Structure 1
Amino acid sequence: MRCVIIDGYVDEPAVLGVPPYVSTYVRYTAGLFLIKGFEVDYYTVDQVRANNMWHAFSVYDTMVIIGGLTVPGKYVGGNPITPDEVKKLFDINTKPYRILIGAIGKAFSNKGGSFAKKFDFDVEEVVEDFSSWISQEFGADYLQSIRETSIAGAEIVKFHPRFPDVICEIEVSLGCERRTFCTFCTEPILHPKFFSRPVKDIVDEVEALYKNGVRAFRLGRSANIIAYGSDFNSGTINPNAVNELYNGIRSKCDDIRVLHTDNANPTYIAKNLEKSVKILESIVKYNTSGDILSFGVESFDEIVRKKNNIDGTVEDIDLAVKVVNEIGGLRDSGGVPKLLPGINIIFGLFGETKKTYEINYNKLLWYLENDLLLRRINLRQIMIFPGTPLYYLSQRKNVRPDKRLFEHYKYLIRNNVDTPMLKKVFPLGTIIRYVIPEFSEGKITFGRPLGTYPILIGVPAKFSEPTDIVVVGYGHRSLTGVRLVELNKLTIEELESIPGIGKKNALRIKQGDFSTVDKKAENFVKKFFVEIKLN
């Protein structure tokens, strides 16, 4: 028997599966069918598009498409599947037993400021509740099912077109520890119950992936990493569980390139400060640099927060941002901070006014002015998903972002906060390791390292393999860098981009003539490039 899995990519509040990420759904599903004795093939939707493979799947007994977005995003590594593409694949390939997995089976939208709409698919199975489905198919409870399928499905990553340069999302808990939920969030719809996976199960899964060649992991399948293991501890915060988890992973996998996390609740940190500090210290001890704790702030407007049942106060958020900076702000040998907060803002929530936009902007400015570093700021327009309280409220109230105000304040934040914040997070001369090329525009190659919300870097040179990059400049949400190679191997454009060099000096350096190079430019090269290369 043969099964084909087509990865249409997922993006939910607590799981990401757009390349270079490989989602949990893909690996668990592969493991299930492998355990059942199937031969399993795996393709991404981008492979289907690029190779015109729409008619290629009738030879299989079972065809599984995985996809769905419940939060809006812009993606560099791939383009998520659309309902029309799902229908095209299923309509053409009618011989296999056809299964659709993911939020796309409930509803779909690919942009913020919109309602996700329901689509009908003519297939044998639409799996909306993945945890119940895989438990039923495997014949055991969810924890046992994913323990077995996650380990069995680890080998599927080798068929990803970007392998070995992939990062695997690791599920550490399911659902949200809060029992009253934000009005807009899909996590309690997709995963109603909160529970943590046993430490051993997670460590064994990571080890299986590691043995199959994966070197980058994100403990991201969690609504709040700080709450991991609280259900082992009568519902209270559990620093020992988090420490045991990170230590266990490190003890099994000695040369991990990336060990990052994602979501954390700033209010949970503030309300459990002493024990949260211990957890943050454990994360910083065992993680790799460039890590981010994504704070679902959503709004700094206290009125909006209350109307949308968002946990805690702005003072809680401020305290959490401060504590993460204090513990995670230390830098590696290349100058990259170990762990910083990220801020998610949603525009278009119930109760929002013009003042809300100003409040959000001024708070972000306040962080900048007070040297409280934010690794990234996500600005999104609300996607209203069926089943959320906000969806039902929107039937009676006007719940939409003001697009004019959104674009205006987005411009202000990008120019007045993002760029100066990048300069603080990544000072000139910072080395970013293992930058993977993504795409080119003219003479510029854009690349990113593996990790949580990896920074985009434009390099005025062609390179096709992962390369270490030195930061020499800034965009609104990106960096300019030059390759960390011998100075005479840099392109003219790279040399020109180094502050203090200029076109004439670049030509002289390229020709090996330093005799007439300005002293200021020479000193800059020695300080930020040559000495770093020698070290």
Structure 2
Amino acid sequence: MKAVIVDGYIDEPAALGVPPYISHYVRYAAGVLINLGFFVDYFTIDQIRRDDLWKMLSQYDVVFVIGGVTVPGRYVGGTPITLKEIEKIFEICERSEKLIAGPLAKFYVSKGGSKASTIQLKDCKTIGSDLVGDLVRLFTNLSPSLNNWNLVKDAALAGTEIIKKHPFYPRIICEIELSRGCERLGHCSFCIEPVFYPTFTSRPVEHVVEEIVSLYKAGCKAFRLGRAANVLAYYADRNSGKPCPQVFEELYSAIRNNCPEIEILHHDNANPSYIVRYENECAKILETIVKYNSPGDVLSFGVESFDEKVLKMNNIGNSPEIVLRAVEIVNEIGSVRVEGVPKLLPGINLLYGLIGETKETYEKNYQWLKRILEKGLLLRRINIRQVMVEPGTPLWNYYQKKKIKVDRKFFNFYKEKIRAEIDLPMFRKVFPVGTVLRKVYPEFKEGKVTFGRQLGTYPILVGIPFENVEGPIDVIIVDHGPRSVTAIRHPFDLNKVSYEELLAIPKIGKARAARILLSRPFKKFEEVEKILDDKEVVELLKNLKAVIS
């Protein structure tokens, strides 16, 4: 029996599977099918589009589509599957057994600011949130208990080799499941996590370590400890809701000891109010994370709004003061730098289209972000999005009676205001000129500029003014935009640097760039100082670690 997994990409509040990420759903599904005796193939939806593989899918006995977006996002690595593409696949594969999993099994929504629609597909079986258990029930006479972690472990270990079929392999990040559900008793009005996973439960430490070791042996060196609404609450369900610092030391030390060449170890969500409520315990956990993680890591804070009225009406368990204190705590522990890059910083998510929102909400959000900037605190990134309204959530019920209309003009005005007045100066502080970024992978080109990113959680977009970039390469930052940086090749060799790269450096200009090129080769840096005859520019070159070879 032959099965094919079509990866349509998932993006949930606690999990990401858009390339270079490969989701836990895909690996678990492959593992269950392999354990059941299937030969399993795997293709991303982008591979199918690019290589026109649609008709080829009909040769498989089982066609399993996995995907669904439940949080708004923009993606560079791939484009999530559309409803029309799902219908096309299942129409072509008329004789195959057809399965669908991920958020798509419940509904379809394509972008922020829109309402989900239900999916009706002929002769298709839906696999629920308990993917492993549901697949076992479908193909056997067994009826495993909900969230059976032993079954999950067996599937995860059996499915590790599927990563080698990913088109980005070995440049992939494996999203690792830590827990399901949210530790909060009451839930935010818009969040789909408690709809998928009503009970908060943590995965055993040894299971997580075993899976990472297996994936590491299969060639993966980048991991994100995700699939958690609040990573700091991992194992809290086994400790009366309180954080477990000792568990994090056990987990991280085991990962690093067993996988010494892991390059990326990053994270995703954290709850600001949890950090403040259990400040001492969470501080110890943050210290452990910073001890073992890799630079450029982010803890995503679901702030959503700094408007107290909106927070209360949407049951978001934070306040502006709590968020500010949580930002301070993470900065105090995580802002230590490696080659100029902070180890761990908070990120802030803002969401529009919530109950109780007014035009004053926009100004309050801006003013609190400005306060964070003026206090000298660092934010790794700010996400500004419009809510997706999804069935099963309180917001969905509210929208049945009254729809919240986001003023697009007002939304765009404040979005650009935050980009220019908060993001840009914040970027300059987080990634100052002279910061070295290791292993930037080229992703696309625009004219003579190559754009690339590092592996990791929310990697910054890097524009490199050089056409023939073969990654990965090390770069050094020379300038900033509100959502990206400009960088040149590192080491910055004055005898090899291109004219375009010199022009990208502020204060160099066409005349100085031409003077440098015409005066090459240099034997020592003093020769460069002499032809430039400008102390400020010379200091800039020194800050960029310019070398002569």
> Which TM-score band applies after superposition, normalised by the shorter structure?
over 0.9
1:156-175 equivalences in 2 (<5 Å) = 156-175=162-181
Find 1:308's aligned residue among 307, 314, 339.
Answer: 314
Task: Tell me what 1:353 maps to.
Answer: 358
- Alignment of 1:500 with 2:501, yes or no, is no
Aligned amino acid, residue 22 of structure 2: V
1:319-398 equivalences in 2 (<5 Å) = 319-332=325-338, 334-398=339-403
Counterpart contact for 1:298–1:346, Cα < 8 Å: yes
Q: How many residues align?
A: 532
Task: Tell me what 1:472 maps to.
Answer: 478
Provide the rounded CA distance (Å) in 1 between the counterparts of 2:331 and 2:9: 32
Residue deviations 1:235-263 (CA, integer Å, cap 9, x gap): 22211112211111111110111000000
Provide the rounded CA distance (Å) in 2 between the counterparts of 1:96 and 1:487: 61
Task: Tell me what 1:147 maps to.
Answer: 153
Aligned amino acid, residue 78 of structure 2: G
Provide the rounded CA distance (Å) in 1 between the counterparts of 2:461 and 2:136: 39
Distance 1:318 1:159, change over 3 A: same
Provide the rounded CA distance (Å) in 2 between the counterparts of 1:365 and 1:135: 52
Q: Greater shift after overlay, 135-144 or 380-389? A: 135-144
Task: Tell me what 2:111 maps to.
Answer: 111
Provide the rounded CA distance (Å) in 2 between the counterparts of 1:495 and 1:394: 54
- Alignment of 1:530 with 2:546, yes or no, is yes
Per the normalisation by structure 2, the TM-score is 0.95
- Superposition deviation, residue 111 in structure 1: 1.2
Counterpart contact for 2:190–2:394, Cα < 8 Å: yes
1:416-427 equivalences in 2 (<5 Å) = 416-427=421-432
- Alignment of 1:195 with 2:234, yes or no, is no
Task: Tell me what 1:207 maps to.
Answer: 213
1:277-316 equivalences in 2 (<5 Å) = 277-316=283-322
Task: Tell me what 2:516 maps to.
Answer: 509
Aligned amino acid, residue 319 of structure 2: T
1:406-425 equivalences in 2 (<5 Å) = 406-425=411-430
Residue deviations 1:325-348 (CA, integer Å, cap 9, x gap): 00000000x200000000000011
Task: Tell me what 1:60 maps to.
Answer: 60
Aligned amino acid, residue 506 of structure 1: A
Task: Tell me what 1:27 maps to.
Answer: 27
Provide the rounded CA distance (Å) in 1 between the counterparts of 2:300 and 2:204: 23
- Superposition deviation, residue 381 in structure 1: 0.5
Counterpart contact for 1:27–1:157, Cα < 8 Å: yes
Task: Tell me what 2:525 maps to.
Answer: none
Distance 1:307 1:238, change over 3 A: same
Other structure's SS at 2:57 match: coil
Other structure's SS at 1:183 match: coil
- Alignment of 1:43 with 2:58, yes or no, is no
Task: Tell me what 1:519 maps to.
Answer: 534
Provide the rounded CA distance (Å) in 1 between the counterparts of 2:200 and 2:166: 30
Task: Tell me what 1:441 maps to.
Answer: 446
Aligned amino acid, residue 534 of structure 2: K
Provide the rounded CA distance (Å) in 2 between the counterparts of 1:7 and 1:371: 42
Aligned amino acid, residue 46 of structure 2: D
Provide the rounded CA distance (Å) in 1 between the counterparts of 2:289 and 2:406: 36
Provide the rounded CA distance (Å) in 2 between the counterparts of 1:135 and 1:97: 15
Root-mean-square deviation (Å): 1.5
Counterpart contact for 1:101–1:130, Cα < 8 Å: no
Per the normalisation by structure 1, the TM-score is 0.97
Q: Greater shift after overlay, 482-491 or 192-201? A: 482-491
Provide the rounded CA distance (Å) in 2 between the counterparts of 1:203 and 1:353: 46
1:57-96 equivalences in 2 (<5 Å) = 57-96=57-96
Residue deviations 1:158-192 (CA, integer Å, cap 9, x gap): 11111111101000011111121101000011111
Provide the rounded CA distance (Å) in 1 between the counterparts of 2:114 and 2:169: 34
Counterpart contact for 2:32–2:136, Cα < 8 Å: no
Counterpart contact for 2:15–2:227, Cα < 8 Å: yes
Provide the rounded CA distance (Å) in 1 between the counterparts of 2:19 and 2:429: 28
Counterpart contact for 1:17–1:169, Cα < 8 Å: yes
1:6-25 equivalences in 2 (<5 Å) = 6-25=6-25
Counterpart contact for 1:28–1:150, Cα < 8 Å: yes
Counterpart contact for 1:336–1:430, Cα < 8 Å: yes
Provide the rounded CA distance (Å) in 2 between the counterparts of 1:62 and 1:135: 14
What is the identity percentage for the equivalent residue pairs of Structure 1 and Structure 2? 50
Provide the rounded CA distance (Å) in 2 between the counterparts of 1:123 and 1:5: 17
Counterpart contact for 2:127–2:135, Cα < 8 Å: no
Residue deviations 1:88-137 (CA, integer Å, cap 9, x gap): 01101212211011112222222111101112112331223334414635
Aligned amino acid, residue 237 of structure 1: P
Residue ranges of structure 1 left out of the alignment (5+ in a row): none
Q: Greater shift after overlay, 465-474 or 508-517? A: 508-517
Provide the rounded CA distance (Å) in 2 between the counterparts of 1:62 and 1:303: 50
Residue deviations 1:429-473 (CA, integer Å, cap 9, x gap): 000111011100000000000111010010100202111110000
- Superposition deviation, residue 497 in structure 1: 1.1
Residue deviations 1:181-205 (CA, integer Å, cap 9, x gap): 1010000111111111010000000
Find 1:488's aligned residue among 485, 495, 517.
Answer: 495
- Superposition deviation, residue 266 in structure 1: 0.3
Task: Tell me what 1:136 maps to.
Answer: 137
Provide the rounded CA distance (Å) in 1 between the counterparts of 2:136 and 2:404: 37
- Superposition deviation, residue 510 in structure 1: 2.7
Counterpart contact for 2:190–2:389, Cα < 8 Å: yes
Counterpart contact for 1:461–1:494, Cα < 8 Å: yes
Provide the rounded CA distance (Å) in 2 between the counterparts of 1:432 and 1:157: 26
Provide the rounded CA distance (Å) in 1 between the counterparts of 2:250 and 2:405: 44
